Amino acid sequence: MAIIELKSVRKSFGALDIIPGVDLRVEHGEFVVFVGPSGSGKSTLLRLVAGLEEATGGTISIDGRDVTTLGPAERELAMVFQSYALYPHKTVRANMSFALEVAKVPREEIRQQVDKVAALLQLTNLLERKPRELSGGQRQRVAIGRAIVREPVAFMFDEPLSNLDAALRIEMRLEIAKLHRRLGATMIYVTHDQTEAMTLADRIVVLDKGVIQQTGSPLELYERPANLFVAQFIGSPKMNVLSAEVAGSTLPAMSRAATHIGIRPEDIAVLEPGKGHLDGRIEVVERLGSDTFAYVALADGSLLTVRAPRDSSASIGQEIGIRFEEGRIHAFDGKGVALPS
């Protein structure tokens, strides 16, 4: 386990600032997820921590040791990438052993360490196979096992599940969560998938254009987003956002400073027309088995997503009233910053 600390860390390419300045502390054994859209700087920030990119400014320390100018090997971190990067001609055992062999660890110690990690990851029966004989999920487990056998001070994951199909992503997400509980290791994980972030993280770091928008637990970010960007990035379906002009007349308690209000799909009730805060017309209905989502057009052309019961009778073209759960309404000012409730 390790404490990783970034102080005023910057990364520029010429006059272009990719990371204009980040301060962040990752605690012992913490699972921190960097999340954001493409181009948000999340992978660049991870690579700066790992030593795969050179910082333009600031300091990076691991357990109080300044590693800013050290190479990846000297930082004693392990990386797991989106691509498995396995040696195709080597067996699973040989792939997992390779880093220890390069470090000249005694052969018997290597065997014991690989066997222990293989048992942890349910790879024991696959140790003599080649990568081409494995499924995508098995290959990713081998890549993770190769990282574990080195006994690093912390693990770095760069979108490790992106190459897997939907079912395997869910399976591997559970495996990584269980692995973190077993090892108690410090982990930094990069993803563009906010569902992965919500289900894996102790703490999420939301990035946009290289700037940290908010850090906090998954529930904190979901229930108390700091700004409009976080409000609409965290959550699936995303938070509904309306102009205060549209919603203001029906929500008299709303702050005068608010220019927009936000409401989650599950915090909207469907009523008879004229009996809610606003009226609308159902444009699309999605029935997903456990959930039904209705997309409701308002008079100004705004489209709201409403989560309805699975057996809802909602139908396309239906005129409805919608009522917001008033204790769950979020208000934002002209700069998109959340206002106190």
**Is the confidence at residue 312, as pLDDT, over 90?**
no
**Is residue 258 very low, low, confident or very high in pLDDT (cuts 50, 70, 90)?**
confident
Please state the φ and ψ torsions of residue 219, each to the nearest 5 degrees: -70, -35
How confident is the model at residue 244, as a pLDDT?
83
Residue 252 has pLDDT above 60, yes or no: no
**pLDDT grade, residue 175 (50/70/90)?**
confident
Contact assessment for residue 33 and residue 82, using Cβ atoms and an 8 Å cutoff: no
List of residues 6+ apart from 1 with CB closer than 8 A = 28, 29, 153, 154, 184, 185, 186
**pTM for the whole structure:** 0.89
What is the C-alpha separation between 175 and 164, in angstroms, rounded?
14
Q: Is it the case that residue 236 has pLDDT exceeding 60?
A: yes
Q: What is the pLDDT of residue 250?
A: 64
With pLDDT > 90 as the criterion, what percentage of the chain qualifies? 68
Question: Which tokens go with 66?
Answer: 């300044």
Helix (H, G, I), strand (E, B) or coil at 90: coil
84-98, 121-135, 145-159, 208-222: range with highest mean pLDDT: 208-222
- Mean pLDDT confidence for 153-174: 87
Distance in angstroms (rounded) separating the CA atoms of residues 154 and 188: 8
Q: What percent of the chain has pLDDT over 70?
A: 97
State the pLDDT at residue 315.
Answer: 92
In this prediction, residue 253 carries a pLDDT of 59
Please check the confidence at residue 317 and state whether its pLDDT lies above 70: yes
One-letter amino acid at 263 equals I
CA angle 72, 76, 79 (to 5 degrees): 65
What is residue 321's predicted lDDT score, i.e. its pLDDT? 94
Residue 248: predicted pLDDT? 63
Task: Parse the chain into domains and list their residue ranges.
Answer: 4-232, 241-332
Structure-model confidence comparison of residues 252 and 199, the more confident one = 199
Q: What is the DSSP letter of 162?
A: T
**Domain 4-232 CATH class label:** alpha beta
Would you say the CATH fold of 241-332 matches that of 4-232? no
Q: Read off the pLDDT of residues 187-202 as tens digits, 9 standing for 90 and up.
A: 999 999 888 999 999 9
pLDDT of amino acid 313: 87
- pLDDT bin (cut points 50, 70, 90) of residue 246 is confident
Q: What is the mean pLDDT of residues 151-164?
A: 89
pLDDT at 219 over 60: yes
- How large is the angle between the packed helices 136-148 and 107-120, nearest 10 degrees? 130
Alpha carbon distance 55, 45 (integer Å): 9
Q: What is the mean pLDDT of the segment spanning 266-293? A: 92
Instruction: Please write the tens of the pLDDT for every residue from 46-57.
Output: 999 999 999 999
Structure tokens at 309: 């019961």
Give the pLDDT band (50/70/90) at residue 249: low
Q: Which residue has the tokens 């102790």?
A: 202
Q: What is the mean pLDDT of residues 247-268?
A: 79
Which fold is adopted by the domain 241-332? OB fold (Dihydrolipoamide Acetyltransferase, E2P) (2.40.50)
Question: Once rounded to an integer, what is the mean pLDDT over residues 6-22?
Answer: 94
**Cα separation of 86 and 236, whole Å?**
34
Cα(18)–Cα(131) distance, rounded to whole angstroms?
36
Distance, in Å, from the CA atom of 56 to the CA atom of 9, rounded to the nearest integer, reads 7
Q: How confident is the model at residue 133, as a pLDDT?
A: 94
pLDDT tier, 327 (very low <50, low <70, confident <90, very high otherwise): confident
Lowest mean pLDDT among 98-102, 198-202, 238-242, 248-252: 248-252
Q: pLDDT tens-digit profile of 22-48? A: 999 999 999 999 999 999 999 999 999
Q: What is the pLDDT of residue 222?
A: 96
- The CA distance from 156 to 224, in Å, is 28
